[in-house]
């Protein structure tokens, strides 16, 4: 029996939000942030859902200089 991906719930929430908001990412920042948090919490686990969230993307918010 295969194990459920630990971040599948968040991945589905992103898809649902994007579809509901006509794929305007800025309207789904909260669910995208939740996905990043989940992927950070499960580093080292085999997560197909997190494969698109590289370490650079997960820490992007912390290292990006404030916009003017």
The 10s digit of each residue's pLDDT in 21-51 is: 999 999 999 999 999 999 999 887 878 899 8
Residues above pLDDT 90, as percent of the chain: 54
Domain spans in the chain, listed from the N-terminal domain onward? 8-55
Tell me the whole-structure pTM to 2 decimals.
0.71
Question: Which residues, other chains included, contact 40 with Cβ-Cβ below 8 Å and sequence gap of 6+?
Answer: 58
Mean confidence (pLDDT) of the chain: 81
**CA–CA separation, 47 vs 40, rounded Å?**
11
Question: Which residues, other chains included, contact 68 with Cβ-Cβ below 8 Å and sequence gap of 6+?
Answer: none
- Do 1 and 45 touch, CB atoms closer than 8 A? no
Which among 46, 39, 2, 44 has a CA at the least distance from the CA of 60?
39
């Amino acid at each position: 029996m295969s194990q459920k991906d630990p971040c599948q719930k968040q991945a589905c929430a992103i898809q649902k939000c994007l579809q509901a908001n006509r794929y305007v990412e800025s309207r789904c920042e909260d669910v995208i942030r939740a996905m990043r948090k989940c992927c950070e919490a499960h580093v080292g686990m085999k997560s197909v859902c997190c494969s698109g969230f590289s370490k650079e993307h997960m820490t992007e918010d912390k290292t990006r200089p404030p916009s003017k």
